[in-house]
């Protein structure tokens, strides 16, 4: 291997390492250089560390940039964690969309074009900004109030559970808290509710439905971009980092030591069996960070007849899936309209 090839390999490995499935930035060890990438054991350790404490991304955008009036709101998850969000009113409407966000993001999106997020995501081709606020403009203009919030340990919401990433288990409490808040708030109680739950937010919604199905009585529908199984992403991460795939069990052991939660417990495929509302999932088919079979299995496990799975083609960048709604919103708007009108 030439020196330039060695440098490129080391740089790629460190970028993949820091990605750690998008959960957290992982700094290089003191004294680590471009020519001395971490060994397999160190890669596993740092990947596991990323589960132990998540990196918060900043709120970089507001609804005002889209010409929207909005209210800063706070409410409690069902276990008391303070959750921060925006309420964007749509005058004269009796329909509400509750929106959350992908892992590592917040309600406004992710500054993937800035450091450290650019380095975190660049190995998978996702080193660009995802601004989610245009989504809220589209929903508002279609006649929906919007409640958009930060999941725990994200954005401006409260720290909880030691800052660990639970892949939807603890975050499901935030989903349930958002429903309770919407039903208790004076100007939204009694409204028809739809859910726009993205990635981690969708996995969290699946878990919440499995945990407390009665909380979703009256919810009209769910649109869920790109839910994901953590073990699937991490298996891809290992291969991209040059670590043998058969070391996934060792990675899981290290993750358990930091969080107490094995991969076997982080199973949105199983949680999908608890979904009882009409559900529209969509996913980048050739996403470098996951496998089509993962979302397909979730879709197949949803035990309702009124469901749809749409593939996003022509890209392998996961972030393009998060931008699909603002690029081609009509299928999702038709789904909401057909179930909430």
Q: 279-313, pLDDT tens digit by residue?
A: 999 999 999 999 999 999 999 999 999 999 999 99
Q: Is the pTM of this model over 0.85?
A: yes
For the stretch 203-258, pLDDT in tens is: 999 999 999 999 999 999 999 999 999 999 999 888 888 899 889 999 999 999 99
Q: Is residue 187 over pLDDT 90?
A: yes
Provide the percentage of residues in the chain whose pLDDT is more than 90. Answer: 82
Six-digit token string for 23: 């959960």
Question: How does DSSP classify residue 263?
Answer: G
E strands, 109-230, where?
109-110, 130-131, 145-149, 192-196, 219-225
How far is Cα 163 from Cα 241, in angstroms, rounded to an integer? Answer: 25
What is the spatial distance between Cα 63 and Cα 242, in angstroms, rounded to a whole number? 42
For residue 20, pLDDT over 90 is answered with no
Using the predicted structure, report yes or no on whether residue 103 has a pLDDT greater than 80: yes
Mark out the alpha helices in 39-100 (DSSP H runs): 40-52
Token couple for 20: 């750690």
Which phi and psi (to 5°) does residue 249 adopt?
A: -70, -35
228 touches 215 (CB < 8 A): no
Q: Decide if pLDDT at 23 tops 50.
A: no
Give the side-chain half-sphere CA count within 13 A for 55: 22
Burial level of 291, CB count in 10 A (0-12/13-18/19+)? middle
């Amino acid at each position: 291997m030439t020196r330039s090839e060695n440098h490129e390999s080391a740089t790629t490995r460190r970028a993949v390492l820091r990605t750690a499935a998008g959960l957290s930035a992982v700094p290089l060890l003191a004294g680590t250089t471009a020519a001395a990438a971490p060994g397999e054991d160190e890669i596993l350790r740092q990947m596991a560390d990323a589960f132990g404490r998540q990196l918060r991304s900043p709120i970089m955008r507001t609804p005002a940039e889209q010409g929207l009036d909005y209210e800063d709101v706070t409410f409690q998850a069902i276990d008391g964690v303070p959750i921060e969000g925006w309420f964007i009113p749509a005058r004269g409407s009796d329909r509400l969309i509750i929106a959350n966000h992908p892992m590592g993001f917040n309600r406004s999106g992710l500054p993937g074009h800035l450091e450290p997020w650019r380095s975190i995501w660049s190995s998978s081709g996702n080193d660009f900004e995802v601004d989610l606020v245009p989504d809220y403009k589209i929903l508002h203009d279609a006649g929906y109030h919007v409640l958009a919030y930060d999941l725990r340990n994200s954005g401006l919401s409260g720290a909880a559970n030691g800052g660990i990433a639970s892949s939807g288990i603890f975050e499901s409490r935030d989903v349930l808290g958002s429903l309770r808040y919407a039903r208790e708030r004076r100007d939204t109680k009694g409204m028809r509710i739809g859910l726009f739950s993205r990635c981690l937010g969708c996995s969290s919604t699946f878990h919440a439905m499995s945990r407390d199905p009665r909380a979703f009585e009256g919810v009209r529908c769910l649109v869920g971009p790109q839910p994901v199984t953590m073990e699937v992403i991490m298996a891809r991460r290992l291969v991209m980092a040059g670590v043998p795939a058969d070391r996934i069990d060792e990675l899981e052991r290290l993750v358990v030591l930091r969080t107490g939660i094995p991969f076997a417990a982080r199973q949105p495929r199983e949680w999908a069996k608890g979904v009882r509302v009409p559900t529209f999932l969509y996913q980048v088919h050739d996403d470098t960070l996951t496998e089509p079979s993962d979302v397909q299995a979730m879709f197949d496990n949803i035990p309702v007849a009124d469901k749809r799975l749409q593939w996003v083609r022509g890209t392998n960048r996961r972030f393009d899936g998060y931008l699909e709604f603002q690029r081609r919103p009509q299928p999702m708007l038709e789904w909401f309209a057909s179930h909430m009108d």
